[in-house]
Structure 1
Amino acid sequence: MKSHFMLAFTLRVVLVIYSNYHDQNFKVPFTDIDYKVFTDASRYMLDGLSPFNRHTYRYSPLLALILTPNIFLYSNYGKILFSFVDILVAILIRKILATNTNYDQHMVNFCAYLWLYNPLIIIISTRGNADCLAAFLVTLSLYFLECGFCSAAGLIHGLSVHFRLYPMAFSLAMYFSLSTSNNIFINMKQIKFTLTCLISLIIATVISYYFYGFKFIHESLIYHLIRKDARHNFSVFFYTLYLSADTIPSKFLRIFNILPQLILLINLSGFYSSKKNLPFALMMQAFVVVIFNTIMTSQYFFWFLSLFPLCFPKLMYNVRRIMMLLVLWTISQGMWLGMAYALEFKSLNSFNCIWLSSILFFVINIQILSDLIQIYKKYY
Structure 2
Amino acid sequence: MFRHRTRWLYVGLGVALRAALLGWGVYQDTNMPLPYTDVDYTVYNDGARALWSACPLAATVDSPLYHDEDDLFNEPALAHVHCAQGILPVVSRFVLKNDPTLDEPVEQHFYDSESLWSQIASWCFTLTHPFFRFFASLGDPYARDTYRYTPLLALVLGPAHASGAGALFGKVLFALADVACALLMWAILDERAEMHAHEAPGLASAYATHLPGLLWLLNPFPAQIATRGSADSLVGLLVLAFLYLLIRATPEVALVQEPRVQKLPQPHDPSELRVANQACWCGAAFCLALAVHLKLYPVVYGASVLAHLAKYRHHVLRLLCGIAKPQRRDVLWLGTEFAALCAVMYLLMNVAVWLVWGEPFLRHALLYHVLRQDHRHNFSVYFLPTYLTWDWDAHTSWVHALAASPLASFVPQMIAVALVGFGLGGRDLVMACTVQTVVFVAWNKVYTSQYFLWYLWFLPIIGTTLSFPRRAEVGALIVLWAGAQAAWLALAYRLEFMAQNTFVYLWLSSLGLLLVHVVCVQRCLRAWQRWRHRQAAAKQKAE
Counterpart in 1 of 2:146? 56
Deviation of 1:236 (Å): 1.1
Residue in structure 1 matching 2:207, options 107, 111, 134: 107
Match runs of 1:250-269 below 5 Å:
252-253=402-403, 254-269=406-421
SS at match of 2:373: coil
Counterpart in 2 of 1:160? 291
State the distance in 1 between where 2:343 and 2:301 align: 14
Deviation of 1:255 (Å): 3.5
Counting matched residue pairs gives: 379
Match runs of 1:249-328 below 5 Å:
252-253=402-403, 254-274=406-426, 277-318=428-469, 319-328=471-480
Tell me if structure 2 keeps the 8 A contact 1:261–1:289.
yes
State the distance in 1 between where 2:371 and 2:486 align: 27
State the distance in 2 between where 1:154 and 1:246 align: 42
Residue in structure 1 matching 2:187, options 95, 100, 116: 95
The residue type paired with residue 514 of structure 2 is: F
Tell me if structure 1 keeps the 8 A contact 2:182–2:212.
yes
Match runs of 1:332-371 below 5 Å:
332-371=484-523
State the distance in 1 between where 2:402 and 2:234 align: 33
Match runs of 1:124-135 below 5 Å:
124-135=225-236
Residue in structure 2 matching 1:116, options 194, 213, 217: 217
The residue type paired with residue 108 of structure 1 is: A
Counterpart in 1 of 2:174? 82
SS at match of 1:317: coil
Alignment of 1:39 with 2:45, yes or no, is yes
Normalised to the residue count of structure 2, the TM-score between the two structures is: 0.67
Counterpart in 2 of 1:21? 27
State the distance in 2 between where 1:44 and 1:243 align: 35
Alignment of 1:185 with 2:191, yes or no, is no
Deviation of 1:231 (Å): 3.4
State the distance in 2 between where 1:115 and 1:198 align: 31
Tell me if structure 1 keeps the 8 A contact 2:13–2:217.
no
| Cα deviation digits, residues 210-234 of structure 1 (max 9, x gap) | 1112211111111112223333323
SS at match of 1:55: coil
State the distance in 2 between where 1:89 and 1:375 align: 25
- The verdict on how the C-alpha distance between 1:158 and 1:246 changes in structure 2, with shifts beyond 3 A counting, is farther
Farther off after superposition, 60-69 or 311-320? 311-320
State the distance in 2 between where 1:196 and 1:24 align: 48
| Cα deviation digits, residues 87-135 of structure 1 (max 9, x gap) | 1110110011101232225221112112111221011000000001111
SS at match of 1:178: helix
| Cα deviation digits, residues 245-284 of structure 1 (max 9, x gap) | 153456524444223322222221221122x500000011
- The verdict on how the C-alpha distance between 1:255 and 1:108 changes in structure 2, with shifts beyond 3 A counting, is same
Farther off after superposition, 252-261 or 321-330? 252-261
State the distance in 1 between where 2:145 and 2:408 align: 30
Counterpart in 1 of 2:358? 213
SS at match of 2:360: helix
Counterpart in 2 of 1:331? 483
| Cα deviation digits, residues 145-176 of structure 1 (max 9, x gap) | 11013222111111111111010000121122
State the distance in 1 between where 2:144 and 2:371 align: 19
Q: CA RMSD in A?
A: 1.8
User: Mind listing any 5+ residue stretches in structure 2 that lack a counterpart?
Assistant: 1-6, 54-137, 250-279, 316-325, 533-543
SS at match of 1:79: helix
Tell me if structure 2 keeps the 8 A contact 1:178–1:190.
yes
Counterpart in 2 of 1:227? 372
State the distance in 1 between where 2:340 and 2:515 align: 39
Counterpart in 2 of 1:145? 246
Tell me if structure 1 keeps the 8 A contact 2:187–2:244.
yes
SS at match of 1:374: helix
Normalised to the residue count of structure 1, the TM-score between the two structures is: 0.94
State the identity %.
Answer: 31
Between structures 1 and 2, the one with greater helix share: 1
The residue type paired with residue 67 of structure 1 is: L
State the distance in 1 between where 2:385 and 2:342 align: 37
Counterpart in 2 of 1:194? 339
Counterpart in 1 of 2:3? none
Tell me if structure 2 keeps the 8 A contact 1:155–1:199.
no
State the distance in 2 between where 1:354 and 1:196 align: 43
| Cα deviation digits, residues 309-363 of structure 1 (max 9, x gap) | 1111112434432321221111111112222222222222121221121121122
Tell me if structure 1 keeps the 8 A contact 2:148–2:364.
yes
The residue type paired with residue 44 of structure 1 is: A
Tell me if structure 2 keeps the 8 A contact 1:90–1:112.
yes
Deviation of 1:3 (Å): 2.6
Deviation of 1:50 (Å): 0.8
Deviation of 1:12 (Å): 0.4
State the distance in 2 between where 1:269 and 1:345 align: 39
Alignment of 1:68 with 2:152, yes or no, is no
State the distance in 2 between where 1:351 and 1:30 align: 25
- The verdict on how the C-alpha distance between 1:119 and 1:287 changes in structure 2, with shifts beyond 3 A counting, is same
State the distance in 2 between where 1:176 and 1:250 align: 38
Larger Rg: 2
